[in-house]
Each structure stands twice: as structure tokens, then as C-alpha cells.
């Protein structure tokens, strides 16, 4: 067992320190990368990566399958069935000139209507992206400075819905843009301060 893990687990006889505190859920950043050698975001991917107000839907669900076996009629056996991943919802303030979300949705609509994807200058046709959500270390840490310690890697995501907050002349709130992404897989990784995989954790390819 690593010294870092021993320190994290040794919380019974000592008072809590910054090393044993849970990570802050407000210290995160989101990055997008195209799948394969082409993609809708060849020119707009930079505008998508960065800050979001909130990220929700980071969950994995496996449905159980019940079956009965002759000779064991009093109880049912339970085996794992299909695994599904909840849609991920990202919320941010609408920024002037940042039209990445509507460009993505427009390209997806063109594909579903049979017109093909014609939203990038190079004519590429993929609308899927991989997404990395990095949860950063504590800002008070003296040994680590703004390093990711936990993260989520989302595989083959594409935009399923796009919503904007309502308009109200009597309100002083900001215009909010909400995207819902459907995807095909979610990997979770724990990282050491130097970016290597934490003991027992698996670091996905391309994570950091």
C-alpha cells in the first residue's frame, strides 16, 4: 500500500487534514476531443473546452437479470445484464460568439435528415466526441498546485438536446445554455499528484 493511501486511510487517531478532506466539486474543468481523425469540431473544439456552471449525470447502471434453476426453487439467481449510462447534462452561461453547441446540434440534425454533415470547413462527417472531466486538487495544498486528482472520461458522446433559459424582462439573471449528451461509456480514474494512476485505479488512454 502506498504512503499516500495509508495517509488517506489513517483518519481514526488523527484529526482531519487537507489530505483527508473530500475533493471540492466546484473545482473542475471539461475538455472535448474529436473521435478519430475527423469531426465536426475541427475548427470549434477550442470554444467548447473550458468552464461550465455544472455537470450532472455521471452515473453507471447495470440491470439485474433474474432466472430460476431447477432444484433451487426457493430463490432466484441474479446475474448482471445490460449496462447503461445516464445522459450527461452540461450548463453554462450563453456567450456571444460561442456557437459551438448550436453548430453541433445543426450538424446532427443534418445527418438525421439525410443531408449529411456540412458544418466544418474540411467537410468531415463525425459528430461524436470524447470528453474529459477533471476534478482538481484542493487550492490550499502546499505540495500540489491545481492538479487533477480524479476524473471522468466519457466515450463517444454526442448532443441529444439543447435548451436555453426563458426570456424575462423583469429578471436580472443570465441567459443559460444547457446541453444533454448521450454517450457510450464512462470511465473513472483516480490520479496521484504527478498525474500517474492511483494505486488500484485505471487511467484511460488519453485521460491526461
User: Which of the pair, 55 or 38, is modelled with greater confidence?
Assistant: 55
Domain ranges of the chain: 25-66+76-190
- Are 140 and 23 in contact by the 8 Å Cβ rule? The answer is no
pLDDT of residue 14: 54
- Are 176 and 134 in contact by the 8 Å Cβ rule? The answer is no
Given a cut of 50, is residue 120 above it in pLDDT? no
Q: What is the topology classification, in CATH, of domain 25-66+76-190?
A: Pnp Oxidase; Chain A (2.30.110)
Supply the mean pLDDT for the chain. 77
Grid cell of 108 as nine digits: 446532427
Long-range contacts of 145-148 (CB under 8 A, 24+ apart): 147/191, 147/193, 147/195, 148/191, 148/195, 148/208
The model's confidence at residue 29, banded by pLDDT at 50, 70 and 90, is confident
Q: What is the pLDDT of residues 166-177, one digit of tens each?
A: 999 998 888 999
The model's confidence at residue 121, banded by pLDDT at 50, 70 and 90, is very low
Q: Which residues are within 8 A (CB) of 139 and not within 5 positions of it... i.e. 6 or more apart?
A: 24, 27, 146
User: Which of the pair, 74 or 87, is modelled with greater confidence?
Assistant: 87
- Are 159 and 179 in contact by the 8 Å Cβ rule? The answer is yes
Q: What is the pLDDT of residues 171-202, one digit of tens each?
A: 888 899 999 999 999 988 888 777 777 876 66
d(CA 153, CA 121): 28
Amino acid at each position: 500500500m502506498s504512503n499516500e493511501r495509508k495517509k488517506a486511510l489513517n483518519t481514526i487517531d488523527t484529526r482531519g487534514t487537507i489530505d483527508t478532506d473530500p475533493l471540492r466539486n466546484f473545482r473542475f474543468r471539461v475538455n472535448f476531443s474529436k473521435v478519430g481523425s475527423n469531426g465536426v469540431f475541427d475548427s470549434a473544439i477550442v470554444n467548447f473546452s473550458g468552464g461550465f456552471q455544472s455537470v450532472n449525470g455521471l452515473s453507471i447502471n447495470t440491470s439485474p437479470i433474474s432466472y430460476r434453476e431447477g432444484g433451487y426453487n426457493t430463490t432466484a439467481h441474479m446475474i448482471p445484464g445490460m449496462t447503461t449510462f445516464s445522459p450527461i447534462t452540461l450548463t453554462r452561461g450563453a456567450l456571444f460568439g460561442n456557437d459551438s453547441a448550436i453548430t453541433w446540434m445543426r450538424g446532427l440534425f443534418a445527418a438525421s435528415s439525410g443531408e449529411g454533415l456540412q458544418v466544418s470547413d474540411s467537410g468531415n462527417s463525425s459528430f461524436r466526441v470524447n470528453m474529459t472531466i477533471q476534478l482538481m486538487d484542493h487550492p490550499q495544498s502546499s505540495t500540489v498546485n491545481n492538479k487533477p486528482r480524479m476524473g471522468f472520461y466519457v466515450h463517444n458522446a454526442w448532443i441529444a438536446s439543447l435548451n436555453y433559459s426563458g426570456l424575462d424582462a423583469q429578471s436580472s439573471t443570465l441567459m443559460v445554455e444547457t446541453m444533454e449528451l448521450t454517450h457510450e461509456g464512462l470511465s473513472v480514474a483516480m490520479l496521484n499528484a504527478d498525474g500517474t494512476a492511483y494505486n488500484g485505479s485505471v487511467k484511460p488512454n488519453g485521460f491526461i
